[in-house]
Structure 1
Amino acid sequence: MARFELTGHDQYRIDKAREELAKASELDLSDDRAMARTIGRLEVALQQLLEMLDEDGTS
């Protein structure tokens, strides 16, 4: 059980973060540009998840 209530938007952000993580595991490590894009997407996903936690005052 979650420590706080998740909104539909929160669940969407969590699902998208999981998708980005799954895509990163399939990344061709020899493609520098793809790696840079993926790192950027993972940074955004992590930032959004942290903001979601901060909204609740848990961090």
Structure 2
Amino acid sequence: MAVSISAVVLLGILVFVLIRGGSVRLLPALTCAGFGFFLASTGAAPLITTAIGTVTGWISSI
């Protein structure tokens, strides 16, 4: 749970910086957020969560 909240905060900050810097416009950012929201309700969500947990576990062991 703590890893997913940290990832959400980190990605939120990254999106904010990209929008403010002009690299990403607001509509494409909202489209990507909507895609992520709907992706979370599919069967791929547990696989993605497991993959992110594995990568963060690997990084923390370094």
Q: Give TM-score scaled by structure 1 length.
A: 0.42
Bigger relative contact order, structure 1 or 2 (CA pairs below 8 A, ≥6 apart): 1
Q: Give TM-score scaled by structure 2 length.
A: 0.40
